[in-house]
Amino acid sequence: MPEGDVVWRTARQLHDALAGRVLVRSDFRVPRYATTSLAGRVVTDAISRGKHLLIRVEGDVSVHTHLRMDGSWRISPATGQPLRDHRIRLVLANDTWQAVGQQLGIVEVIRTSQESRAVGHLGPDLLGPAFDLAEAVRRLGADPQRAIGEALLDQRNLAGVGNLYKAETLFLRGLSPWRPTGEVTGLADLVDLARQLLEANKERVGQVTTGNPARGEQTWVYGRAGRPCRRCSTVIRGGEQGPQTEERVTFWCPRCQPG
């Protein structure tokens, strides 16, 4: 599942392929924008805000997208040929490159000057250019009864953490996902660790928190329910936390993370 590191890298790839060039084609395959065309306009920037992507186009236009569970952007040399794939939601092409967005959870065209309507609710962006640790800690601690596993995933507290980095950060700090946030000492260290894990992975494909990139060795607890803890051999648990969505399955070691 795409988390902040994947979205950051995607934004950079989109920026490299599109920024400073004129779009020769745009193909929105969502009903609301079926007649929208950005052809002839210059892309000025592509950035990430947490798990959101903003592609800015001259004339106060931003294309706001979100990868959600299965979305992706692929960049390839422009072919000029129509693409047939029912998963495609948006194609943006210049005379050199085409960027193809598949299975995007959000596709909307907004004013660049009003981007805050789309991303203004987000907490400090862990991979943003001016990450505000104190503000992230303040937001995280604002609801002391709330389970830390849920609070870390709430993008209004801090932006960029998904299920994998949540589970791994809590394991590395020895914290149960159900520990009330008010009982967690060292929230700043916890947030900083999440930021470091995202930083360490943003330049590469694959998400590694153990230091071992070999298949099956990349994580401490994420995706490892039923298998032995790498530290204490206790069986790793997996279970739902918070509102029932796919994003909320969490993983933990009951011995290393007493709760």
> For residues 11 and 253, which CB has a smaller minimum distance to Zn ion in the complex?
253
| DSSP annotation of 41 | P
Of 232, 239, 246, 258, the one binding Zn ion (CB under 5 A) is 232
| DSSP annotation of 50 | T
**Using rule CB under 5 A, residue 188 touches Zn ion:** no
- H-run or E-run covering 197: helix 187-201
**Using rule CB under 5 A, residue 41 touches Zn ion:** no
Of 46, 47, 61, 229, the one binding Zn ion (CB under 5 A) is 229
Q: At 156, list the tokens.
A: 């209004």
Q: At its nearest, how many Å lie between Zn ion and the CB of residue 215? A: 21
Handedness of CA 201, 203, 204, 206 (dihedral sign): positive
**Using rule CB under 5 A, residue 253 touches Zn ion:** yes
> For residues 68 and 227, which CB has a smaller minimum distance to Zn ion in the complex?
227
The interface region with Zn ion, picked from 37-45, 84-92, 195-203, 245-253 by CB under 5 A, is 245-253
Q: State the catalytic residues.
A: 2-3, 51, 248
CB 13 within 8 A of CB 175: no
**Using rule CB under 5 A, residue 231 touches Zn ion:** yes
| DSSP annotation of 217 | -
> For residues 73 and 251, which CB has a smaller minimum distance to Zn ion in the complex?
251
**Using rule CB under 5 A, residue 227 touches Zn ion:** no
Q: At its nearest, how many Å lie between Zn ion and the CB of residue 237? A: 10
- H-run or E-run covering 57: strand 52-57
Phi-psi region of 102 (alpha: psi -120 to 50; beta: other; left: phi over 0): beta
The end-to-end CA distance of the chain, in Å, is 26
Q: At its nearest, how many Å lie between Zn ion and the CB of residue 142? A: 30
Minimal CA–CA distance to 10: which of 50, 43, 64, 48? 48
**Using rule CB under 5 A, residue 43 touches Zn ion:** no
**Using rule CB under 5 A, residue 172 touches Zn ion:** no
Residue nearest to Zn ion (CB): 229
How far apart are the C-alpha atoms of 153 and 247, rounded to whole Å? 9
User: Residue numbers of the site for Zn ion (CB under 5 A)?
Assistant: 229, 231-232, 234, 253, 255-256
